[in-house]
Amino acid sequence: MTLKSALYAGFAASLALGLAACGGGEDATTATQEAAPMDDAARLDAVLAGDHRSDEERARDEFRHPKETLEFFGLEPTMTVVEVYPGGGWYTQVIAPYMKTGGGKTYAASFPAEGASERARAALDTFRKTYVENPDLYGAVEMTTLGEGHHIAPEGSADMVVTFRNIHSFMGRGIAEETFEEFYRALKPGGVLGIVEHRADGAELPRDGSSGYVYTDDVVAMAEAAGFEFEAASEINANTADTKDHPFGVWTLPPVRRSAQINGEDDPSFDRARYDAIGESDRMTLKFRKPIAADGALLE
């Protein structure tokens, strides 16, 4: 059995067990037919428990709260969702298999390959091989590009756009304004923009994203300037232990655990204990919506 087959078998077994539990002990086929359409929470639980996720990835659930976060955003497995800047795919491993259970579609929008470093291009290739080329496990995943001359999804096609801990990167690269406009363009009227970001509130930090932390009111202002309506905020991903006064910004904390400035050589004598005890950063979790006209007509 290949590695991909083994991963899929483990996930499929977990999913069948989760669905069967909802179906009162019926066989997996019947449970899938009868329980799946009515119990998205059970399907998400099964994905989170799947063997395709490593122990290291699963350990981050304590700080990232994927189930609660996706439920807060209102993600459903029949939707078309765009995950912007998925990185190595920590959230993709949850979102894509979940969308597969309902026949939904996942767009993964990353940085442009043109002009990127060899290392960055290799990361894009690894993402493609892992997720796009493994539809039995991850379903319909299509890679797109966020950047000038590119679109993250066809205009007005997405039910939801999500991005996790990336707003500071857009600010640092001077592309935040056009990025929020691109989110708006890709979404259907009534569609949702879900954002999780390191939260600067309560600290005195630069407002340019250079620390990795961003102020909530700045994110709200950028979203509203693009046309979004603020809908709700959640404390799902709050961490009151995060003092935000770290020598190497948010990257001092897990999972990066930096002990030197970017591109610097790690300091083996750096005392990580205080920062490891904090855990991952304090985060805002915000939900915005692309408006629908008051008379119910769709806004173009």
Phi, psi of 232 (to 5 degrees): -165, 160
The pLDDT of residue 267 is: 86
For 122-141, letters b (16+ CB in 10 Å) and e give ebbeebeebbbebeebbbeb
The pLDDT of residue 293 is: 66
Indicate whether 106 and 228 sit together in one domain: yes
What mean pLDDT do residues 78-83 have? 98
Indicate whether 86 and 223 sit together in one domain: yes
The pLDDT of residue 47 is: 97
Structure-token pair, residue 161: 């756009």
DSSP 156-173: T-EEEEEEES-HHHHHHT
The pLDDT of residue 97 is: 98
Total domains present in the chain: 2
The pLDDT of residue 37 is: 53
The tens digit of pLDDT for each residue in 51-75 reads 999 999 999 999 999 999 999 999 9
Query: To 5 degrees, how large is the angle CA 21–CA 27–CA 29?
Result: 105
Structure-token pair, residue 46: 């099964």
The tens digit of pLDDT for each residue in 202-227 reads 999 999 999 999 999 999 999 999 99
pLDDT grade for 144, boundaries at 50, 70 and 90: very high
> Which of 152-161, 171-180, 227-236, 265-274 shows the lowest mean pLDDT across its residues?
265-274
Indicate whether 86 and 232 sit together in one domain: yes
Indicate whether 47 and 158 sit together in one domain: no
pLDDT at 21 over 90: no
Q: Is residue 297 part of a domain?
A: no
Positive or negative, the CA dihedral 6, 7, 10, 11 is: negative
Rounded mean pLDDT of the chain?
88
Domain around 187: 61-244+281-289
The pLDDT of residue 283 is: 98
| DSSP label at residue 249 | G
User: Any idea what the CATH number is for the domain that residue 148 is in?
Assistant: 3.40.50.150
Indicate whether 6 and 121 sit together in one domain: no
Cα–Cα nearest to 224, from 184, 195, 194: 184
Is the separation of the CB atoms in 81 and 160 below 8 Å?
yes
The tens digit of pLDDT for each residue in 89-118 reads 999 999 999 999 999 999 999 999 998 899
Phi, psi of 110 (to 5 degrees): -115, -175
What mean pLDDT do residues 156-175 have? 97
Helices 28-35 & 3-22 angle (0-180, nearest 10)? 70
Q: Is residue 34 part of a domain?
A: yes
Indicate whether 20 and 65 sit together in one domain: no
Indicate whether 133 and 8 sit together in one domain: no
Query: 196: left (phi > 0), else alpha (psi -120 to 50), else beta?
Result: beta
Q: Is residue 102 part of a domain?
A: yes
Is the separation of the CB atoms in 141 and 92 below 8 Å?
yes
Indicate whether 14 and 95 sit together in one domain: no
CA distances from 186 to 97, 106, 160, 161, 192 (A): 22, 13, 9, 8, 11
Indicate whether 42 and 172 sit together in one domain: no
Positive or negative, the CA dihedral 244, 245, 247, 249 is: positive
pLDDT grade for 242, boundaries at 50, 70 and 90: very high
Structure-token pair, residue 99: 């969308």
Give the β-pairing of 283-289 and 229-234.
antiparallel
Phi, psi of 106 (to 5 degrees): -120, 125
Instruction: Sheet with 105-110: list strands edge to edge.
Output: 140-145, 105-110, 80-84, 158-164, 187-198, 283-289, 229-234
Structure-token pair, residue 206: 């630069």
Q: Is residue 230 part of a domain?
A: yes
Q: Is residue 262 part of a domain?
A: no
pLDDT at 13 over 60: no
What mean pLDDT do residues 7-29 have? 42
The tens digit of pLDDT for each residue in 256-299 reads 999 887 666 788 889 999 999 999 999 999 999 999 964 445 55
Q: Is residue 296 part of a domain?
A: no
Indicate whether 67 and 173 sit together in one domain: yes
Q: Is residue 207 part of a domain?
A: yes
